[in-house]
Amino acid sequence: MVMLPVGVFLTWVTTSKFEILQTGGNTLTEKPMKSHSSLQVIRDEHASLAAMLQSMRMMVKRGPAEDRRNFFDVVRAMLFYIDEFPERLHHPKESNLLFPKVVKLAPKVMGAIDKLERDHMYSEKAARDMQHLLLAWELLGDARRTVFEEAFEKYINFYLEHMSLEESVILPEAERCFSEDDWRVLDAAFAQNADPLTGHYPPAQEFEKLFSLIVTRAPSPIGLG
């Protein structure tokens, strides 16, 4: 089990401010701790994803330099991690449990939910597309670098805007409208995610190698590299 990086990352999560994660004029705003555990899990998972994207942006800006193999190994691992955690665990629970309940209780958020649902459909494909574009850069050479860089910048901005909309519109509305029974269902569902990059859970055995690769070789704020 990888202990040190988890602690280091936990320290970052608990002490840093979202305000550092600005991109294209979009800023995620840190929210105070709420009593419902699912809200905290959603915000923690947003924080770890934002940190991952920030770290990847730094890596891509630096480029492969002399250590091409390390660069592509780490960026590929990070994209794969996004595919495994936010795409498979976080978004489906929002789409299946959070959004339908919020829109039923507060129909005024229909427009925001509609956009967020389209985002969820787009982001799963986008994560695969980014992996393909990275592979093209790695295997076909620097002629494909600009295409990756431009698509990646759009991908980061898209994701930060998506999380910002959820935090500014959907979560406050859920806090306003949900009953204790609604929260029980949502809390139980999100408690199962256990994303190790939030810093609150050790990685499951099958993810130890991947987690270790990211946190020992990626740059701050996600890792020690």
**Chain-centre distance of CA 26, in angstroms?**
15
Selected range binding Fe ion among 10-18, 64-72, 86-94, 201-209, rule: CB under 5 A: 86-94
Cβ(204)–Cβ(14) under 8 Å?
no
Among 44, 94, 138, 173, binds Fe ion (CB under 5 A): 94
Instruction: Show the CA angle centred on residue 59, arms to residues 55 and 64, nearest 5°.
Output: 160
Selected range binding Fe ion among 3-11, 92-100, 167-175, 189-197, rule: CB under 5 A: 92-100
Q: Give the Cβ contact number of residue 132 at 10 Å.
A: 12
Selected range binding Fe ion among 3-11, 24-32, 165-173, 176-184, rule: CB under 5 A: 165-173
Q: Which is nearer to Fe ion, 57 or 93 (CB)?
A: 93
If one asks whether residue 195 binds Fe ion (CB under 5 A), the answer comes out as no
If one asks whether residue 166 binds Fe ion (CB under 5 A), the answer comes out as yes
Q: Which is nearer to Fe ion, 138 or 195 (CB)?
A: 195
Helix, strand, coil percent content, the chain, rounded in steps of 5: 80, 0, 20
Selected range binding Fe ion among 51-59, 90-98, 151-159, 172-180, rule: CB under 5 A: 90-98
Question: Cβ of residue 72: shortest distance to Fe ion, in angstroms?
Answer: 28
Binding-site size, Fe ion (CB under 5 A): 3
Q: Which is nearer to Fe ion, 91 or 217 (CB)?
A: 91
Q: How far is 94 from 67, CA to CA, in rounded Å? A: 39
Q: How far is 113 from 165, CA to CA, in rounded Å? A: 9
Question: Helix (H, G, I), strand (E, B), or coil: what is residue 25?
Answer: coil
Question: Cβ of residue 53: shortest distance to Fe ion, in angstroms?
Answer: 13
Q: Which is nearer to Fe ion, 87 or 182 (CB)?
A: 87
Q: How far is 68 from 8, CA to CA, in rounded Å? A: 26
Question: Helix (H, G, I), strand (E, B), or coil: what is residue 131?
Answer: helix
Site residues, Fe ion (CB under 5 A): 91, 94, 166
